[in-house]
Chains A and B, each alone.
Chain A
Amino acid sequence: MDYLLQTKNLTKVYPNGTIANRGVDFGVRRGEILGLVGENGAGKSTLMKVLYGEESPTSGEIWLEGKSVTFSSSQDAIRAGIGMVHQHFMLVPKLTLAENLVLGKEPSKPRSGFFDLERAVSITEELAAHYNLNVFARARVVDVSVSMRQKLEILKALYRGAKILILDEPTSVLTPQETDELFLELKELQKHGQTIIFISHKLNEIFRLCDRVSVMRDGKMIATHDVADVDSQSVSNEMVGRDVQLSITKTKQKPGDMVLKVRDISFVDDFGIKMLDHVSFSLKQKEILGVVGVDGNGQSELVKVITGGLKTLSGQVIAHGKDITNKSQAIVRQAKVAHIAEDRMTEGTALAASIEENLVADRISLPKYSSKYGFLHKEIIEETAQDIIKSFDIRCSSPKQSVASLSGGNMQKVVVGREFTADADILIISQPTRGVDVGAIEFIHKRIIEMRDTGKAILLVSSDLQEVMSLSDSLIVMNSGKIVAYFPDASQTTDKELGLYMLGLKKQTAKEIEGVLS
């Protein structure tokens, strides 16, 4: 096997003890398009970071063209001909595409030594024409589409002499049409002699584009196949380790009254993109309504608009008959709406504060916890904190320790513990188990079901399809800021069918979606 770039027995352990890669043997052949697949946390990104010089291996070797190499920085990797197109683009917003392309290797005018913009533009245009990756060289990054920015990222790598291109989840930001375009371009690049590593979790894309596929799981390299020799089911099993099964048991509940009415809400982000486009639905008691969709299709914004973090440009949010549209988060909480924030580190907790302080933040003004003269009822606070710590199994040495020292799972339990003991009967839950260990996940899932059984109305947003499907009673699918599908019974659909809606390949009729309003 003649590999252009390979790793031998590569292990990477992060300073906090996480083992991201275990003894990985990986190799890509010259001129091929290799797909790298795995679940979240399987170790794909780490492997690429090591290959690109952004991280150094704890042990093991990297071999390039038959010779062992070490990269002390990404500059070394670039010099060696490895180019990376990151998920999060490395572009300077207010500079033009041409300026971004040449950054660091700028052409200068012969006599004055000034930056030669014209030359930069012509370099860009020549390169773009050569590789058939068309971009507006004179436009500023802020003014062009995401797919064009991505093309520029690829051109950047090529400009610096990349012979191996690593693309990290490139299609997560593209429309289906743009994805088609990208695949054509990548095949062109292959004809030009480029070697491409394509990281994705979308099997259908791997099978469309790649020659071979490598599968990772739990930090290990499981297997590598020629794409022609396998089917998506067996690859999917390798990724997951076992056949997919629903592991959550819940009894069917009859939904109660409608307690939350969301009608016609809209939101435009700083880039001018319509993240919410006249969204409407209703939430009933004793019901978990799951929101399914590819990250970035408006789910975050939906949650934030409902709970008061963002302002909607139209429509209404009504909880228990009370209009809470565009009111502050404080007022929304008073309307008995609790909210598990998507990001526990930046929003769901105050890292520098103690566990105890975090647990009572939403209720400190209640007469139970502070007197009308303002004095804190210290003992009640301590008692409440202890109770929550116990009943939510938060592993800590003392309630007075700072939240920053907790593990991800325990930190999340602080958030869940607080929100689930709040005086609320509408729960808006966003990414409840992101970055959380198995035991905690099971625990949190159980509590969510419990909350539903006691009569709460729950909106569950999660990028973890399995989680949403197994927890929810009914589902909506979001794409491009709109609800494109509604399933009154979550058990009546499959992940494959949902995938079609999520990717915008299918759309229900307005009549079918209307059901979510009642």
Chain B
Amino acid sequence: MTNFVASVFSSSNYWFIVLRSTAPILLVTLGAVITEAANIKNMALEGSMLWAALMGVVVSAWTGNAWLGLIAGIASSVAIALILGLFALKLDANPVLCGVALNLFSSGGTVFVLFSLTGDKGISSSLSSKTLPFLHLPYIENIPWLGSILSGQNIVVWISVLAVVIVHLLLNKATIGRRIRATGENVEAAKSAGIDPVRIKFLTLAISGVLAGIAGCFLSMGYTSNFTSGIAAGRGYVANAAQVVAGGTAFGAIFASLIFGLTDAMATYLQNVGMPPELIQALPYLVTILGFIVVTLIRDHREIQRKRRLFEGDTGSTFGRGPGRPHQTTGEAAS
């Protein structure tokens, strides 16, 4: 067992695949983290990815240009996110249900459109779609072991790294980041400061749409070069789970998506040692749930410890009375 693990972890090819597998999950998870910061759940990430993957392929085939495909993919992905916003924020419908509905709509709709365009339900191979460029890094590729991990990755992998930085800056350095967090933590405080929570939430939805769009395009224009039905394979939902593990930070998202990516990349290796492919496929999802549980356990434990410490006489704050606690927006439990 340890031999196996050692041989896998020392293989540069393994890490190459890790980066490739993690990138799309990372992008979508970042999207989920941002919307969660504003306290709106985007459960339609799966659907966003599907449309992005399809539109990327379709438009790049039609125009002959991969970048136009990317733009179209992002646009369709954002559209889905905004429709979610429309129903959840303006029509006051349950955002989770709406997200799930949009995913359903997208899984059927993408195949439907594919069929109408190509007569094929399974795969878009009849379309000569373009792929996004792979980057061969001139000096780095000569570094032993590390070089073969970093060079030759699709540009989207680097975009995902950039996305982490951008999201981090957004949430922590930009003014809008504080407004987003205010909306998420205490919407009454945000409102009283003149911030429109609906606009903020729409903004975060749009951003998550962009991120999911890039991830979706990567799936059909980088990772593979076709759209296949169900290409997202639940990654949108994985992002919803990973977001909890990420704990609200951009760097947490890296950790959370790596859980999935590390397991996913092991597929061929596990197969070589004789593990059945179906069970291998189940593994990343299983690991995501486990990660989710472990993180929640740790957080609960820390909370209990904190209370214990405070009770044992280590009160950090002076005694306060009455309902003047900042987290309470109204006297009643939040409706």
Contacts and interface: CB of A to CB of B under 8 A. Distances in A.
Contact of A89 (B181, B310, B319, B324): B324
Interface in A334-370: 343, 345-346
Interface in B315-335: 315-333
Interface in A225-280: 266, 268, 270-274
Contacts of B41: none
A147 B320 CA distance: 8
Contacts of B132: none
Residue of B182, B185, B190, B331 contacting most chain A CB atoms (<10 Å): B182
B321 A296 contact: yes
Nearest to B185: A92
Nearest to A314: B311
A297 B167 CA distance: 43
A273 B319 contact: yes
A90 B323 contact: no
B307 interface: yes
A144 B175 contact: no
Contact of A103 (B195, B316, B329): B195
Contacts of B323: 87-88, 172-173, 295-296
Contact of B194 (A86, A91, A104, A274): A104
A507 B317 CA distance: 23
A75 interface: yes
The contact size tier of chain A is 35 or more
A154 to B, nearest CB: 13
B173 interface: yes
A480 B321 contact: yes
A94 interface: yes
Nearest to A94: B185
Nearest to A169: B322
A321 interface: no
B173 A95 contact: no
A93 B327 contact: yes
Given A91-B189, A295-B323, A99 B178 contact: yes
Interface string B192-233: 111100000000000000000000000000000000000000
Given A147-B318, A173-B324, A103 B333 contact: no
A103 B321 contact: no
Given A91-B186, A149-B324, A266 B333 contact: no
Contact of A93 (B174, B194, B326): B326
A145 interface: yes
A404 B306 CA distance: 39
Given A90-B189, A266-B311, A268-B310, A172 B324 contact: yes
A114 interface: yes
Contacts of A146: 317-318, 320-321, 324-325
Interface in B285-321: 306-307, 310-311, 315-321
A100 interface: yes
A266 B333 CA distance: 23
B317 A273 contact: yes
Nearest to A177: B318
B328 A172 contact: no
B185 A295 contact: no
B192 A74 contact: yes
A89 B315 CA distance: 22
Given A88-B328, A94-B185, A150-B324, A104 B319 contact: no
Contacts of A105: 193-194
Contact of A88 (B177, B185, B329): B329
A173 B320 contact: yes
18 contacts: A87-B322, A88-B328, A89-B325, A91-B186, A91-B326, A93-B326, A94-B185, A95-B181, A99-B178, A112-B173, A146-B324, A149-B326, A172-B321, A173-B321, A268-B311, A271-B320, A295-B323, A343-B333
Given A172-B324, A270-B307, A295-B322, 20 more contacts: A87-B323, A88-B329, A89-B325, A89-B326, A90-B193, A93-B185, A115-B175, A115-B177, A115-B178, A146-B320, A172-B322, A172-B323, A173-B321, A173-B322, A175-B321, A268-B311, A271-B317, A274-B311, A295-B323, A296-B321
Top 9 nearest A-B pairs (CB, nearest first) are: A173-B324, A104-B193, A146-B320, A296-B322, A272-B310, A91-B326, A103-B193, A173-B322, A90-B189
